[in-house]
Chains A and B, each alone.
Chain A
């Protein structure tokens, strides 16, 4: 997957991958009964920054990308109450709490949207200074995070 990209699938032989998340956030959702899931890689929190660009590529932003991920999974037969929701990314460079906060704002935008729509997170690896690659295995719904240069963990 690219930066600002979305993939949904119901094919058991696929693994969806998004590489080396920095401040971007990767969101994986999966319905184990329908075996439908998807992965979103968004870059920025809020589409008000550039509504024209959000029209062209809604996956760029949390507020336009996240609803599309859920909607496209519903179209393949996923049901909201069954969805497993996992999140990774949102890293930041070292420093204070006031500057270079795109990673945190990306994650905050997701939390806000989830709160409003009553979506709970089942697992996450968010923040810090690491680069993460996120995998969603379609056959099982298992989600892994590979921390570059370090360990791979299951969410």
Chain B
């Protein structure tokens, strides 16, 4: 029996995307965001304000002195770094949920999302793609479709993994074969309902590069490569493992060689260590993580 009617129904009951993060997303394409605009967004959200302070002090954001006040954080970090923190804080409410079917660990999706955000951020700076907070955000949100699809994947996991094993196809192809829809298509639909910026929706929909026409877009390619590298790095892997297709086009697109990938992984290992407070966002006891959106 097809699950598609049920899956479509789950889209109709989609809760709103966390408001603060939603408002921050609209500023992504604007390189001249004023600090004051960001203050307006976060000032009524004490949990996010607390998170800004906490994360500002992580080595990942590289400030050399300790931050004690919100104003100090705002001034020292700059708007693009703040956007990343605001969006990450808001997104925990969505991505910090358990996603059985994909991850045994309750924070699995959050950890994978943060890993991919850090990798996209790092790669973006190196390759000069994804200006400002864009690479980070696209990396963070690429797998939102898993939030809704996980229950169906969990139900049909044995069938899906059998297709992966027997046919040697990607986990995403197997999702489509068994469920009728895959997590990237699902994510794209969620992004449409939530009115995400077009570029972001494009990345979410095509982050596994299954449609050749998506292979020309820098940001799609960036997040695709970031995702692949994060899977290779391991650590925050799920039950889907590394069962995704590696297209060498991405290496040609960015003029990268195999050896460059090794170098990038080496850098990433450091950034990953430094970013532990970002990982901790969803597991913290501030009451933030359990707030449903």
Contacts of A150 in B (CB 8 A): 161, 239
Given contacts A99-B251, A129-B241, A148-B237, contact A93 B265 (CB under 8 A): no
Count A/B pairs, Cβ under 8 Å. Answer: 118
Q: Is B247 interfacial (CB-CB < 8 Å)? A: yes
- B245 near A22 with CB under 8 A, answer no
- B232 near A100 with CB under 8 A, answer yes
Pick the residue among B233, B245, B262 that contacts A94 (CB under 8 A): B245
- B269 near A94 with CB under 8 A, answer no
- B233 near A23 with CB under 8 A, answer yes
Tell me whether chain A's interface is mostly helix, strand or loop, or mixed: loop
- B265 near A149 with CB under 8 A, answer no
Interface set of A (CB-CB < 8 Å, partner B):
3-4, 19-24, 43-45, 49-50, 53, 60, 89, 91-96, 98-103, 129-131, 147-150
Pick the residue among B234, B238, B243, B261 that contacts A100 (CB under 8 A): B261
Q: How far is the CA of A148 from the CA of B100 in the complex (A)?
A: 12
Q: How far is the CA of A19 from the CA of B233 in the complex (A)?
A: 11
Contacts of A45 in B (CB 8 A): 262
- A20 near B245 with CB under 8 A, answer no
Q: Is B70 interfacial (CB-CB < 8 Å)? A: no
Given contacts A49-B259, A60-B266, A94-B244, contact A148 B232 (CB under 8 A): no
A148 → chain B closest CB, angstroms: 5
- B266 near A22 with CB under 8 A, answer no
Contacts of A21 in B (CB 8 A): 234
Contacts of B234 in A (CB 8 A): 3, 20-24, 89, 131
- A98 near B248 with CB under 8 A, answer yes
- A102 near B265 with CB under 8 A, answer yes
Q: How far is the CA of A93 from the CA of B242 in the complex (A)?
A: 5
Contacts of B246 in A (CB 8 A): 92-96, 99-100
Given contacts A24-B233, A44-B262, A100-B228, contact A94 B168 (CB under 8 A): yes
- A149 near B232 with CB under 8 A, answer no
Q: How far is the CA of A130 from the CA of B243 in the complex (A)?
A: 7
Pick the residue among B235, B239, B263 that contacts A49 (CB under 8 A): B263
